[in-house]
């Protein structure tokens, strides 16, 4: 800031100096300075947390002090919160490890992890062979399973999916989230969706976004999530499905009740497709409903200076019949711990496609700027001796969903699991 070298005519030099000092204080202590300091404090919190909490002395094999020297000057020049957030995310990307992410503060306001407003279109999609295909839809949806979503509000989805898939730095989880965000938004708003049906006909429908299914549930500093649980019978086989390992008390109660109701079932299918994980301890609790044998564990978590065994506590009323677990590339974290551990001890047969390979135990905290920060605190080795991070769980029987099957009303993965249970009971 430039200050007058000479007092204006009729003005005492001391008054000018005081005025300049006051102006300087206003500039230094103004909104811009406060925002910059928040960016710096947020960066330092992230950097320090990784330095102190990462299970490796050199996080991701990196000299962490060198990383600080590289990124701190850039944070000091960040023009706004989004720019600062992008710089921090770039720093986290250097680790090449999952479960290190920054969640915008808006997610805590809107009650959904993407900060998009929480509304959904009434159907779920997956990228199958480069095309965005509906895999599930509510009864009243104008879009049916097997239909291709060609575009949303003018944005073509297949080219977007292709660009994302071509970038080795973008995981399948990130690809799916990016596509899903195109289909979500504030409740009550409308999306113009172009559909290609099974007969090759193209149509455009307006879909109003509604409240998604499930109950809002939080855990620690994790943004509130919609959590739902489904249990039904397919003949005399029990079928359980839930979207996240959260809402601990309600979910464990529902899971335990469903197991109790299925005591005489020929088999049990647990569908973890699309389940990104959640509270790791729930994997141990749920596994206890599926074995009556003591001294079993799903795997081991290795922290800096400590280890934690994921021990299964068997229940007297445990289900001991055949168990099939369904997974896909969006099954991650606790889903992988649960499926991989039960596979390793020979308690379950796994069907579907390889899981995400994103199984690092992590925690959430809040940052000075209001954002959420998820960071991994340990490595995890499944009971079979293999790290799940980067490897995932390989199914015993690989089965893929296809568009033709969905158009015909068939779920090839579920059918394979049911066929195995029928054979196991013969």
> Rounded to an integer, what distance in angstroms lies between the CA atom of residue 125 and that of residue 196?
14
Q: In which band, very low, low, confident or very high, does the pLDDT at 289 lie, cut at 50, 70 and 90?
A: very high
Average pLDDT, the chain: 89
Two tokens, residue 53: 């909490």
For 101-140, write each residue's pLDDT tens digit.
998 887 665 444 333 457 999 999 999 999 999 999 998 8
Q: In which band, very low, low, confident or very high, does the pLDDT at 220 lie, cut at 50, 70 and 90?
A: confident
> Rounded to an integer, what distance in angstroms lies between the CA atom of residue 229 and that of residue 251?
7
Q: What proportion of the chain, given as a percentage, has pLDDT over 70?
A: 90
Which sequence spans correspond to the domains of the chain?
22-96, 121-208, 215-424
Strand, coil or helix: 251: helix
Q: What per-residue confidence (pLDDT) applies to 16?
A: 41
For 271-286, write each residue's pLDDT tens digit.
999 999 999 999 999 9
In terms of Cβ atoms closer than 10 Å to its own Cβ (0-12, 13-18, 19+), residue 30 is exposed
Q: Which ranges of 58-105 does DSSP label H, i.e. alpha helix?
A: 64-76, 81-93
Query: Which one of 1.10.340.30, 2.30.42.10, 1.10.10.10, 3.60.120.10 gives the CATH number of domain 121-208?
Result: 2.30.42.10
> Rounded to an integer, what distance in angstroms lies between the CA atom of residue 354 and that of residue 273?
11
Mean pLDDT is lowest, of 3-12, 131-140, 154-163, for 3-12
Question: Please, what's the b/e burial string for 256-268 (b: 16 or more CB within 10 A of its CB; e: otherwise)?
Answer: bebbeebeebbbb
CB 164 within 8 A of CB 170: yes
Residue 27 Cα distances to 16, 24, 137, 393, angstroms = 16, 5, 55, 56
Query: Which one of 3.90.226.10, 3.20.20.70, 3.40.50.880, 2.30.60.10 gives the CATH number of domain 215-424?
Result: 3.90.226.10
Mean pLDDT is lowest, of 108-117, 171-180, 218-227, 368-377, for 108-117
| pTM, to two decimals | 0.84
> Residue 209 above 90 pLDDT?
yes
Chain-centre distance for alpha carbon 170: 14
For 321-343, write each residue's pLDDT tens digit.
999 999 999 999 999 999 999 99
> Rounded to an integer, what distance in angstroms lies between the CA atom of residue 334 and that of residue 272?
10
For 300-323, write each residue's pLDDT tens digit.
999 988 999 999 999 988 999 999
């Amino acid at each position: 800031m430039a200050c007058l070298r000479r007092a204006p005519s009729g003005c005492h030099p001391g008054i000018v100096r005081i005025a300049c000092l006051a102006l300087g204080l206003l500039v230094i202590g103004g909104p811009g300075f406060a925002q910059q300091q928040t960016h710096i404090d947020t960066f330092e919190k992230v950097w320090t947390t990784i330095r102190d909490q990462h299970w490796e002395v050199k996080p991701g094999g990196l000299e962490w002090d060198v990383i600080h020297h590289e990124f701190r000057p850039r944070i000091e020049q960040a023009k706004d919160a989004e720019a600062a957030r992008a710089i921090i995310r770039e720093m986290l990307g250097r680790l090449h490890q999952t479960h290190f992410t920054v969640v915008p503060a808006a997610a805590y306001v809107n009650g959904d992890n993407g900060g998009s407003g929480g509304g959904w279109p009434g159907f779920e999609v997956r990228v199958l062979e480069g095309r965005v295909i509906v895999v599930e839809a509510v009864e009243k949806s104008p879009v049916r399973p097997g239909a291709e979503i060609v575009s949303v509000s003018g944005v073509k989805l297949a080219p977007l999916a292709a660009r994302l898939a071509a970038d080795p730095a973008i995981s399948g989880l990130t690809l799916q989230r990016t596509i899903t965000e195109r289909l979500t938004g504030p409740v009550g708003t409308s999306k113009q969706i172009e559909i290609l049906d099974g007969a090759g006909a193209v149509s455009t429908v307006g879909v109003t976004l509604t409240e998604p299914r499930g109950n809002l549930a939080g855990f620690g500093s994790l943004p509130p999530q919609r959590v739902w649980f489904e249990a039904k019978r397919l003949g005399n086989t029990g079928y359980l499905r839930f979207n996240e390992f959260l809402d601990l008390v309600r979910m464990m109660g529902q899971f335990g009740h469903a197991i109790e109701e299925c005591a005489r079932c020929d088999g049990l299918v647990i569908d973890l497709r699309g389940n990104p994980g959640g509270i790791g301890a729930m994997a141990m609790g749920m596994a206890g409903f599926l074995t009556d044998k003591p001294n079993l564990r799903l795997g081991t978590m290795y922290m800096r200076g400590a280890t934690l065994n994921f021990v299964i506590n068997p229940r007297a009323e445990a289900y001991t019949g055949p168990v099939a677990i369904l997974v896909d590339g969006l099954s991650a974290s606790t889903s992988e711990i649960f499926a991989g551990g039960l596979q390793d001890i020979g308690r379950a047969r796994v069907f579907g496609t390889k899981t995400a390979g994103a199984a690092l135990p992590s925690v959430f905290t809040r940052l000075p700027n209001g954002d959420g920060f998820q960071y991994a605190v340990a490595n995890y080795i499944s009971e079979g001796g293999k790290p799940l991070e980067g490897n995932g769980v390989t199914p015993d029987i690989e089965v893929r969903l296809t568009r033709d099957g969905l158009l015909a009303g068939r779920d090839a993965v579920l059918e394979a699991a049911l066929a195995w249970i029928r054979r196991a009971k013969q």
